[in-house]
Amino acid sequence: MSAAGVISPDGAKLPAWRDPQAWAKTSDITAVLIALSLPWSTSLVGIFVVVWIIAVLPTLDPKSFLAWLKRPICLLPIALFALTVVGTLWSDAAWDVRFHAVSPAAKLLALPLLIYHYQRSSRAMWVFVAFLISCSLLMVFSWIVALHPQFALKSDAEYGVPVKNYIDQSQEFALCAVALAYPIINLLRAKKILPALLLGAIGLSFIVNMAFVIVSRTALVTVPILLAVFALLHLRWRYIAVIACLAVVLAGLAWVASPHLRSTIGSFSRDYQLYRERNLPTSMGLRMEFWKKSMQFFAEAPVFGHGTGSTRGLFEQAATGSKLTATAQVIDNPHNQTLNVAVQWGVVGVVVLYAMWLSHLLLFRGDALVAWIGLLVVVQNIFTSLFNSHLFDFHEGWMYVLGVGIAGGALLKAGPVDAAPEQENDSSS
């Protein structure tokens, strides 16, 4: 493309701002900026997402895009968002609360756009590499803040957490560490030892940071599951046995060497006992209390739920005891994605949620790096959503939307796609 403009199909010169190739490249660069910003800032992500949508809209072919929307991988996220909107009609919450409860699901509308765009673009790996680089920088900064807390970027920073919170940080580090396993194994099989050692060192650095600086209990539970998924899909049984033994040895060494790790694991039992015996609002105790009450709310309205934004009001009605007890705590998020959906939209919502997860799991059945990244993102979201509402949380929700959308589009690019104008298919050149 020249600075003066591009040539239209009828031979007329068009201004550069009307060139779909330029808009496509702008979209890809903006997606990279989103990935770079995600570990650090929510406001920057919001700004770049708006810019990305503006940049990608001129590249859409309406007929082709509508055809993509009919696919379950695109239709089901839209259906879940539509349910949150329709659910405002039977909720007893104030209207401002209902509208506020719609916003966490709005990010799902970006999924069809991402899938559509990246089945035409060849720059999907730009985004994933940018995210890895950004998380690696955050990991280095985490060590610095652990040793020198004054360098944290917020006044109330937790130990070793320079920005945001330790749950978000652990999700990022866990995803990067396990995602690197695929290219490391492939590089070793190709006898490219030096690149494999470099990626291995980066992956190990994430694990060491989680072991010796800070890690969420959700990550402690889900990382072994993610590693098991990788081993079952990509390794032979004898290698699985060797790696399992090595993992046990390394875990034992980490247990002996890291007081923080021992404290985090020990808190499971301690929190449960304090909740059961003294009704104290510990982290585990609160989750159990929220889940128990949420099951009761679901039983009261099992088909369509209580409506969008109803959760907090239900917990207020069910609160008992003094303000310092677990049974008195009020929340608008039961810290479980299934229960979050079930309370508000009943069985209908749960069916849509699980159908979406299943459609995205089935999408990533191929043996390719983007298939592995997409599968990992979905599996991580499903299992971490046992302990949090991560699909609706800002940070983890965007990790899911970006990971599934970009990896899904890139994977579909290699297979049959819907017919589209020729210039669209060449937009990534």
Model confidence over 3-42: pLDDT tens digits? 444 555 555 555 555 677 888 889 999 999 999 999 999 9
Q: Find the DSSP H helices in 15-123.
A: 20-37, 42-56, 62-69, 72-86, 95-106, 110-118
Residues present in the chain in total? 429
Highest mean pLDDT among 46-60, 159-173, 213-227: 46-60
Determine the Cα–Cα distance for residues 299 and 417; give it in Å rounded to an integer.
Answer: 43
pLDDT of residue 419 exceeding 90: no
**pLDDT surpasses 90 at 270:** no
pLDDT for the residue numbered 1: 40
Mean pLDDT within 174-190: 91
How high is the pLDDT of residue 13? 55
The residue ranges of every structural domain in the chain are 19-59, 60-120+285-429, 134-278
Supply the pLDDT for residue 265.
Answer: 66
Runs of H (alpha helix) within 279-368: 283-300, 311-318, 337-363
Residue 299: per-residue pLDDT: 95
Query: Is 93 a residue whose pLDDT tops 80?
Result: yes
Residues 115, 74: Cα–Cα separation, whole Å: 8
pLDDT confidence tier of residue 416, bands split at 50, 70 and 90: very low
- Statement: residue 106 has pLDDT above 80: yes
Q: Which of 412, 405, 419, 422 is nearest to 109 (CA)?
A: 405
Query: What percentage of the chain reaches a pLDDT higher than 70?
Result: 84
3-state secondary structure of 323: coil
* Percentage of the residues of the chain whose pLDDT score is greater than 90: 54
Per DSSP (E only), the strands in 86-242 are: none
Greatest Cα pair distance, the chain, in angstroms, is 80
Predicted local confidence at residue 361, as pLDDT: 94
pLDDT at 364: 93
The pLDDT of residue 283: 74
Between CA 159 and CA 153 the distance in angstroms is: 12
Give me the pLDDT at residue 222, please.
Answer: 84
Q: For 35-90, how does the pLDDT look when each residue is reduced to its tens digit (9 = 90+)? A: 999 999 999 999 999 999 999 998 888 898 999 899 999 999 999 999 999 999 99
- The whole-number pLDDT of residue 428 equals 41
Instruction: Identify the pLDDT of residue 235.
Output: 67
Average confidence score pLDDT of the chain = 85
Per-residue burial over 356-375, b = 16 or more CB atoms within 10 Å of its CB, e = otherwise: bbebbeebbeeeebbbbbbb
pTM of the complete model? 0.86
The pLDDT-based confidence of 420 (bands split at 50, 70, 90) is very low
Q: Mean pLDDT throughout 193-216?
A: 90
Mean pLDDT of 296-311: 94
